[in-house]
Amino acid sequence: MRRKDKEITDIDEKLNIIAQNTICRLALFGNDYPYIVPLNYGFSYHNGTLTLYFHGATEGKKMELIKKNNRACFEIDCDTQLITGEKTCSYGYEFKSIIGFGKISIAETSDEKITGLNYLMKQQTGNDTKYDFTEHELKKVCVFTMTVEDFSGKQKKSIFTALS
């Protein structure tokens, strides 16, 4: 990271950013251009490994691209706010963000799908309830998992935020 002064190094702080959000932007290798899509997600962090869980249709552009190349990048951001200034070049933006890279796998079994969907539901609802899904529901949905190989956090605060 070029700006070490903006880097978030504390793992708990990075996980907190991931925990407080519900939308993740997933970037895939497109045919001619990169392809990015905002998705709801869930996550787990066990033994130093971050795993992201997503769901979607069983076919379509996203699934075609994942099957061609399972390497991906993700981005999550929060706490964004305009920092105003006296001149245009003194404007800026407050933010916290996480960017990471990893490989995506598609859940093959009902148990894998249920695990992923439960992490997703926990993230979206804030409830750590174990949900039940019928075989019919599980057949209609694709659950895919990103095993994150590396991720970093970055933040920018205005001088006024930093002083308070």
Number of structural domains, the chain? 1
What is the predicted pLDDT for the residue at 164?
A: 46
**What is the CATH classification number for the domain harbouring 98?**
2.30.110.10
Say how far apart CA 76 and CA 22 lie, in whole Å: 9
What is the rounded CA–CA span in Å between residue 67 and residue 64? 5
* Tens place of pLDDT per residue across the chain (164 aa): 566 666 788 999 999 999 999 999 999 999 899 999 999 999 999 999 999 999 999 999 999 999 999 999 999 987 666 767 778 777 776 768 899 999 999 999 999 999 999 999 999 999 999 999 999 999 999 999 999 999 999 887 765 544 44
pTM score over 0.85: yes
3 state SS for 54-111: EEECCCCHHHHHHHHCCEEEEEEEEEEEEECCCCHHHCEEEEEEEEEEEEEEECCCHH
Q: What range does the domain containing 157 cover?
A: 4-163
Output the pLDDT for position 91.
74
Q: How far apart are CA 141 and CA 153, in angstroms?
A: 31
